Amino acid sequence: MARAPENAPGRWPLLGHTVPLLRDPLALFSAVRDRGDVVKLYLGPLPVFLVTTPELAWQLLVTDGPKFDKGIVFDKMRPLFGDGLATSNGELNRRQRRLVQPAFHRDRIAGYTEQTITGLAAEVANSWQPGEVVAFDQRMQDFALTASGRTLFSTELGEEVLTEIQRSIPIMLKYVLLRAFSPKLVEKLPIPANRRFDAAAARLRRVITEAVVSARSAGTDHGDLLSMLLLARDEETGEGMSDQQVRDEVITILTTGAETTAVALAWFFHELGQHPEVERRFHAEVDEVLGGRPVRFEDLPELGYTQRIIHEIGRRTPPLILMRRAREDTELGGVRIPAGAEVAVSQHTLHQDPRYFPDPGRFDPDRWIPDRMAELPRGAFIPFGAGARLCPGHLLAPVEIAVAAVTIGARWRLVPVPGKPVRARIKATLQPDRLPMRVVPRDTGATSG
Ligand code: HEM
C-alpha cells in the first residue's frame, strides 16, 4: 500500500523550505536522510517529493527516467534558455542530444584543450604578481566563461560576443535559482533584481542571435563549437537546427558549463588552502608529471592525485539538486507520485551518506583510490547526474578543471587570507560566498608556459 512521506525539517508558513534552502542548503539536504527514503519538501507552497537513497535516485534518473520531464526550475529558466538541451523534454530533447553530442567527443575535447584552454590557463597564471590578493572565485568565473566563449566562438566576432557574455551571464546566474525557488509573482515584481535579469537576458539573446545568423551566412567551418552546432545533421532525418535552436543551445552551454566549472575550481583551491598535506601531494604530482613544461592533453591520465581531488570536490560541493516532474502516475519507494508532481534528488544528500562515504564531512581525496570507487552502488555518486539527462560536459569539465589547476599549481600556491570563514552559498550552484586568496610563488623554478 502507498504510504505518505514525512516533511523535511524546518518548513515555514507560506515560504515552505525556501528559507532554509537559501540559508543553509547543506544542513537541510543532510537532515532529510533521517526522515525517510522519500521526503516532502516545499518550494513556497509547491510540494516536491525528494528521494534520499542511491537506489531511488537511480530509479528516478535512469530506469524510470522516461517517466519524468525536467521540472519547475527548468520551466522558470525557459525564458532564458528557450528550448535548449537543459530545458527541452521528450523527443525534442533526444534529437538535440544527438545533434550536440558530437561536439563533446574526446577528440573535440583534446582540440579545445590545445587550442583554447591551456593557453587561457597560462594567461591566468601569468597575470598575477607575487603576494597579490586575488578574488579567486571571480577570477575562475572569468576564466571559465572566457574558455566557454572562445570554445564556442573562435573568430574575431567572438570578442564582441565574449564581452557581452562576461557582462550578462554573471547577472543572470546571480538571480536564476532565486527566481526558480520563488513563487511566480516574484519574477513579475518591478524590483531592480528583475529589471537587471530581464535586461541582461534580452541583451545576451540579441547578441548571440546576431552571431549565429552571421556565422551561418558566412558558412565557414572554424572548428569551433558554434560551427559544429551549425553543421550538425540528424542522422535519422538529415535535418539541422534552426538559428533559434542554435541560439538556445549556445546560451544553455554558456550558462550551464562555465559556472559549474568555475565553482569547482574555486573549491579546489579553497580545499588545498585548508589541507596542506593534500596541497603538498598535489604540487609533488604536478612537478613530477610536468617537470616545468606546460600541460598537454595526454598528461591528464598521469595526474591521478589531481583527478582524485576533482572527484572529492564533486562529492563535497556538487550542483545541489536535480529536479524532475512526473509525466504519469507512478511510484517511488512505496510512495505514490501523481502525474504532474515535482520530484527531486539532492546530490548532497547522497554524497554525504556515511554508509558509502565514511566520515563524510572529511575532505579525503584518497577515498577515491580506484578499488574503493568500484565498491559504490549505482546512484551513490552522481556529480554529473545520470541517465538520459547526464551532463553532456561530464568529460570536458574534469579536463578543463585539471588543466587550469595544474597550470596554476605549477607556479603558485593560493594561500587563504585570514578573516571571515568561507561559506557555501547557493546561487546557480553551490559556491563560496567569497574567496580572497594570496598568490605566493612556489619555489620550483617551474614556469607555466
Ligand atoms: C564541474 C562541472 C560540471 C558539473 C558538476 C555539471 C553538472 C551537471 C549536472 C548534475 C547536470 C544534470 C542536470 C539534471 O539531470 O537535471 C548537468 C546538465 C547539463 N550540463 Fe553540466 N556540469 C558541469 C559542466 C558542464 C559543462 C562544461 C557543460 C558544457 C560545456 C555542461 C553542460 C550541461 C548541459 C547542457 C546540461 C543539460 C543536460 C540535459 O538536461 O539533458 N555542463 N550538468
Give me the mean pLDDT over the 29-47 stretch.
92
The ranges assigned to domains in the chain are 1-82+320-382
Q: What are the Cα distances from residue 391, in Å, to 79, 294, 327, 394?
A: 21, 28, 21, 5
pLDDT for 270-320, tens place per residue? 999 999 999 999 999 999 999 999 999 999 999 999 999 999 999 999 888
Residue 157 pLDDT more than 70?
A: no
Segment (H or E) for 448: none
Q: Is the CB of 257 under 6 A from ligand 1?
A: yes
Residue 177 pLDDT more than 50?
A: yes
Which atom of ligand 1 lies at the shortest distance from residue 263's CA? 1
Residue 180 pLDDT more than 80?
A: no
Q: For a substitution probing ligand 1, which of 246, 346, 351, 391 has the most ligand atoms within 8 Å of its CB?
A: 391
pLDDT of residue 55: 98
pLDDT of residue 196: 86
Residue of 222, 320, 449 lying closest to 21 (CA atoms): 320
Q: Which three cell numbers stand for residue 320?
A: 545541489
How many CB atoms lie under 10 A from the CB of residue 198? 15
Mean of pLDDT over the chain:
90
In whole angstroms, what separates CA 172 from the centre of its chain? Answer: 15
CA of residue 100 to ligand 1 center, whole Å: 13
Q: Is the CB of 256 under 6 A from ligand 1?
A: yes
Q: Which three cell numbers stand for residue 268?
A: 579546489
- Bridge partners, 6 (sequence order): 39
Q: Is the CB of 321 under 6 A from ligand 1?
A: no
Give me the mean pLDDT over the 29-33 stretch.
92
**Which residue has better confidence, 234 or 360?**
360
Q: Is the CB of 410 under 6 A from ligand 1?
A: no
Q: Is the CB of 179 under 6 A from ligand 1?
A: no
Q: Is the CB of 398 under 6 A from ligand 1?
A: no
Give me the mean pLDDT over the 309-338 stretch.
95
How far apart are the C-alpha atoms of 311 and 398, rounded to whole Å?
Answer: 9
How far apart are the C-alpha atoms of 254 and 81, rounded to whole Å?
Answer: 10
CA of residue 433 to ligand 1 center, whole Å: 22
pLDDT of residue 13: 86
How far apart are the C-alpha atoms of 161 and 165, rounded to whole Å?
Answer: 6
Q: Is the CB of 80 under 6 A from ligand 1?
A: no
Cα torsion through 375, 377, 380, 386, rounded to 10: 120
**Which residue has better confidence, 47 or 371?**
47
Among protein residues, the one whose CA lies closest to atom 8 of ligand 1 = 384
Among protein residues, the one whose CA lies closest to atom 1 of ligand 1 = 261
Q: Is the CB of 396 under 6 A from ligand 1?
A: yes
Among protein residues, the one whose CA lies closest to atom 20 of ligand 1 = 391
Q: For a substitution probing ligand 1, which of 260, 265, 349, 381 has the most ligand atoms within 8 Å of its CB?
A: 260
Which atom of ligand 1 lies at the shortest distance from residue 264's CA? 1
Residue of 388, 386, 401, 251 lying closest to 311 (CA atoms): 401
What is the percent of the chain where pLDDT is above 90? Answer: 58
Residue 446 pLDDT more than 50?
A: no
Maximum Cα–Cα distance across the chain: 68
Q: Are 379 and 54 in contact (CB under 8 A)?
A: yes
Q: Is the CB of 385 under 6 A from ligand 1?
A: yes
Non-local CB neighbours of 122 within 8 Å, separated by 6+ positions: 294, 407, 448, 449
Task: Provide the terminal-to-terminal Cα distance of the chain, rounded to the nearest Å.
Answer: 64
Among protein residues, the one whose CA lies closest to atom 3 of ligand 1 = 260
pLDDT for 369-407, tens place per residue? 976 778 899 999 999 999 999 999 999 999 999 999 999
In whole angstroms, what separates CA 447 from the centre of its chain? Answer: 30
Q: Which three cell numbers stand for residue 236?
A: 535519422
Q: Are 397 and 260 in contact (CB under 8 A)?
A: yes
pTM of model > 0.75? yes
DSSP 338-377: -TT-EEEEEHHHHHT-TTTSSSTTS--GGGGSHHHHHTSP
How many CB atoms lie under 10 A from the CB of residue 347? 23
Q: Enumerate long-range contacts of 160-165, CB under 8 Å, 24 or more apart.
A: 160/207, 160/211, 161/207, 161/208, 161/211, 164/203, 164/204, 164/207, 165/204, 165/254
CA of residue 397 to ligand 1 center, whole Å: 9
Residue 193 pLDDT more than 90?
A: no
- Bridge partners, 414 (sequence order): 439
Among protein residues, the one whose CA lies closest to atom 38 of ligand 1 = 86
**Which residue has better confidence, 164 or 392?**
392
In whole angstroms, what separates CA 27 from the centre of its chain? Answer: 20
Segment (H or E) for 403: helix 396-409
Q: Is the CB of 250 under 6 A from ligand 1?
A: no
In whole angstroms, what separates CA 208 from the centre of its chain? Answer: 21
CA of residue 187 to ligand 1 center, whole Å: 25
CA of residue 26 to ligand 1 center, whole Å: 20
Ranges of H-type helices in 291-328: 304-316
Where in 61-198 does DSSP place strands (E)? 68-70, 133-135
Q: Are 252 and 183 in contact (CB under 8 A)?
A: no
* Integer-rounded Cα radius of gyration of the chain: 22
Which atom of ligand 1 lies at the shortest distance from residue 397's CA? 27
How far apart are the C-alpha atoms of 396 and 386, rounded to whole Å?
Answer: 16
CA of residue 61 to ligand 1 center, whole Å: 14
pLDDT of residue 449: 36
CA of residue 284 to ligand 1 center, whole Å: 31
CA of residue 249 to ligand 1 center, whole Å: 13
What's the DSSP call for residue 16?
A: B
How many CB atoms lie under 10 A from the CB of residue 246? 25
How far apart are the C-alpha atoms of 152 and 148, rounded to whole Å?
Answer: 6
CA of residue 384 to ligand 1 center, whole Å: 6
Segment (H or E) for 414: strand 412-416
Give me the mean pLDDT over the 17-27 stretch.
86
In whole angstroms, what separates CA 187 from the centre of its chain? Answer: 24
Segment (H or E) for 179: helix 157-181
Architecture of the domain whose range is 1-82+320-382? Orthogonal Bundle (1.10)
Give me the mean pLDDT over the 54-81 stretch.
90
What is the percent of the chain where pLDDT is above 70? Answer: 95
Q: Is the CB of 391 under 6 A from ligand 1?
A: yes
Q: Which three cell numbers stand for residue 339?
A: 502525474
